[in-house]
Structure 1
Amino acid sequence: MLEPYEQQHYDNLHKWMNPKWDFIVMQATEQYKASKERKKPDRVVLDCQERAYWIVHRPPRRTHSAMDYGLDRLIDPNAEEVLTFDMVRRTNIFLTQALMRSAVKSSVSLTAFVKYVTTHHNHDPFLTTPVPSNPWITDSDEFWQLNSRSVDIPTKLSVERWVLSFWELISDPRGRVDFKLFLKKEHSAENMAFYEAAEEMRWGAASAIPEKSQFIFNTFLKPGAPRWINIDGRTMGLTVKGLVVPHRYVLDAAQTHIFLLMKKDTFYRYLKSPVHKDIFYNVPPVSVPGYLLPLPQVSGP
Structure 2
Amino acid sequence: MVPGRLCCFPKDPLEDVETWSESVDKVLSCKAGQIAFREFLKSEYSEENILFWLACEEYKKIKMAPEMISSANRIYSEFVETEAPRQINIDCGTRENITKNISQPSLTSFDSAQKLIYSLMARDCYPRFLKSDIYQGLLRRTNSSWLTFGCGPFE
TM-score (norm 1): 0.46
Query: Number of matched residues?
Result: 145
CA distance in 2, matches of 1:177, 1:167: 14
Give the number of the structure whose alpha-carbon radius of gyration is greater. Answer: 1
Does the aligned pair in 1 maintain the 2:52–2:75 contact within 8 Å? Answer: yes
Identity %: 30
Are residue 232 (structure 1) and residue 91 (structure 2) matched?
A: yes
* Aligned partner letter, 1:151: K
CA distance in 2, matches of 1:152, 1:188: 27
Q: 1:294 is matched with which residue: 133, 149, 152?
A: 149
CA distance in 2, matches of 1:298, 1:248: 30
Are residue 277 (structure 1) and residue 133 (structure 2) matched?
A: no
Change (3 A) 1:270 1:295: farther
CA distance in 1, matches of 2:34, 2:122: 13
Structure 1 stretches of 5 or more lacking a match? 1-148
Pairing 1:1-301 to 2, within 5 Å after superposition: 150-155=10-15, 158-207=16-65, 208-284=67-143, 288=145, 291-295=146-150, 297-299=153-155
CA distance in 2, matches of 1:240, 1:229: 14
Deviation at 1:218, TM superposition (A): 1.1
Deviation at 1:293, TM superposition (A): 3.6
Does the aligned pair in 1 maintain the 2:141–2:147 contact within 8 Å? Answer: no
1:64-120 Cα shifts (integer Å, max 9, x gaps): xxxxxxxxxxxxxxxxxxxxxxxxxxxxxxxxxxxxxxxxxxxxxxxxxxxxxxxxx
CA distance in 2, matches of 1:215, 1:152: 33
Q: What SS does the corresponding residue of 1:154 show, helix, strand or coil?
A: helix
Q: What SS does the corresponding residue of 1:203 show, helix, strand or coil?
A: coil
CA distance in 2, matches of 1:150, 1:253: 33
Does the aligned pair in 1 maintain the 2:81–2:95 contact within 8 Å? Answer: no
Deviation at 1:235, TM superposition (A): 1.3
Change (3 A) 1:187 1:167: same
TM-score (norm 2): 0.85
1:16-38 Cα shifts (integer Å, max 9, x gaps): xxxxxxxxxxxxxxxxxxxxxxx
CA distance in 2, matches of 1:295, 1:242: 43
**CA-atom RMSD in angstroms:** 1.8
1:222-250 Cα shifts (integer Å, max 9, x gaps): 22111111111111111222212101111
Structure 2 stretches of 5 or more lacking a match? 1-8
Does the aligned pair in 1 maintain the 2:14–2:138 contact within 8 Å? Answer: no
| Higher RCO, 1 vs 2 (CA within 8 Å, ≥6 residues apart) | 2
* Aligned partner letter, 2:100: K
